[in-house]
Amino acid sequence: MGGSSELIFRGHESQPINDDYSPKPNKRWLSFTLNPINYLLREQRLLFTLLGVFIATAFFTLLPSHNTNLNQYDTVPIPYFTQHDSVFPTNHQSNRHVAEVHSFGKVPLGIKRKGLRIVVTGGAGFVGSHLVDRLIARGDSVIVVDNFFTGRKENVMHHFGNPRFELIRHDVVEPLLLEVDQIYHLACPASPVHYKFNPVKTIISNVVGTLNMLGLAKRVGARFLLTSTSEVYGDPLQHPQKETYWGNVNPIGVRSCYDEGKRTAETLTMDYHRGAGVEVRIARIFNTYGPRMCLDDGRVVSNFVAQALRKEPMTVYGDGKQTRSFQYVSDLVEGLMRLMEGEHVGPFNLGNPGEFTMLELAKVVQETIDPDASIEYRPNTEDDPHKRKPDISRAKELLGWEPKVDLRKGLPLMVSDFRQRIFGDHKEGSTVA
């Protein structure tokens, strides 16, 4: 019982008051207000104060003046849009942003400023590999990202060993983080044979792949260029097609995975531009031909050339009176680069306005390869557009661009590449457009 009595509350009993005890702080504050110098000199306070000043000075002096780009877009005002600008903004603010993105911080005296770091998705493909050649020749560092679905290492292997060239096997439907200044986004199966092979994968590549690359552009403050297509006009009710035309596209047809995929990619691109201030460019590419095209991808120029070289009849679908315009690949690459470096978002038609029926094209192929090449007619494919011809006045006016190589000049260059690849006396990748 004696032990438990210790737990009884005794708070009501008066406590002895110890006048000698007083808590520490009062005294110190008092001494600081009375004699600050004494206060500083005691307990090595001065030493610690000086040490703090020294560390802060060293930190701010040695900190590099450039930032890592990661949050650069946050500091950039979002370009405004007027009614016209929604198609064609002249974004001077954005240019300032690019100047910031392209500045490499303090470049020590005597060290030459480096070229740009550029990603080309789909860079092992037909158009991409020619673009890579031009960028490397200009002095830039290029990273090709490609899953080799339709592209080939042979198209870029002449750059292997160049320290300014890198090749990454990667599917753009998966995210990727790279520190770059510009992104040319080409990765997408581009010919009917390939995109109809796996339509779901095609639309996913267009939507998720474009989303991933826009996300990368936003994160690192890079400028982003989308290679869209004249297919966004569908079977056009306007002729020739201007960029302001909204198209006549079947949303549920066999070609929709490509056409609607690219339309969605354009929408995403503009929404990232308006919503997140990402610097974007949109090219609408019309039929392009040249060396390194896939031999049997179902596109009409490669089909006719490969068939004529193999002494097979050239396949014409329908009555052969449907028209297309054919652009040589070096003209397209020039247009893409001008668009990327220029001030305008677009979209821009990039194509050759020279219009040919399928039968006229077959005639040019006969003249170039074999006058005896025959024609075989087959029923037309579903949703094949009847007419296609770009109006390129905007590209002429705002990019100072127009195609230079006509079909009769460009076709022989492609034929010699195809001849070498089909008959085997060829050094892969060596073809120059």
Ligand X SMILES: NC(=O)c1ccc[n+]([C@@H]2O[C@H](COP(=O)([O-])OP(=O)(O)OC[C@H]3O[C@@H](n4cnc5c(N)ncnc54)[C@H](O)[C@@H]3O)[C@@H](O)[C@H]2O)c1
- So which residues are the catalytic ones? 258
Q: In the stretch 104-143, what mask flags binding to ligand X with x, by CB under 6 A?
A: -----------------xx-xxxxx---------------
Which residue from 135, 183, 188, 339 is in contact with ligand X, where contact means CB under 6 A? 188
φ and ψ of 44, to 5 deg: 60, 25
Strand partners, 120: 144, 184
Residue type at position 113 = R
Count, residues near ligand X per rule CB under 6 A: 28
Binding to ligand X by residue 186, rule CB under 6 A? yes
Shortest separation between residue 146's beta carbon and ligand X, angstroms: 4
Strand partners, 121: 145, 185
Which residue from 288, 303, 307, 352 is in contact with ligand X, where contact means CB under 6 A? 288
Binding to ligand X by residue 314, rule CB under 6 A? no
Which residue from 91, 94, 150, 352 is in contact with ligand X, where contact means CB under 6 A? 150
- Between β-strands 314-317 and 141-146, what pairing exists: parallel, antiparallel or unpaired? unpaired
User: Could you tell me where the beta strands, DSSP code E, fall in 263-344?
Assistant: 280-285, 288-289, 314-317, 323-325, 327-328
Binding to ligand X by residue 172, rule CB under 6 A? yes
- Separation of CA 70 from chain center: 17
Binding to ligand X by residue 418, rule CB under 6 A? no
Preceding peptide of 189 cis, ω within 30°: no
- Separation of CA 346 from chain center: 14
Q: Which is nearer to ligand X, 148 or 377 (CB)?
A: 148
Binding to ligand X by residue 333, rule CB under 6 A? no
Q: Which stretch binds ligand X (CB under 6 A): 53-61, 186-194, 246-254, 395-403?
A: 186-194
* Contact set for ligand X, span 209-228 (CB under 6 A): 209, 227
Binding to ligand X by residue 148, rule CB under 6 A? yes
Question: Which residues contact residue 357 at a Cβ distance below 8 angstroms, ignoring those fewer than 6 apart?
Answer: 320, 321, 322, 323
Q: How far apart are CA 303 and CA 298, in angstroms?
A: 6
Footprint of ligand X (CB under 6 A): 121-122, 124-128, 146-151, 171-173, 186-190, 205, 209, 227, 229, 285, 287-288
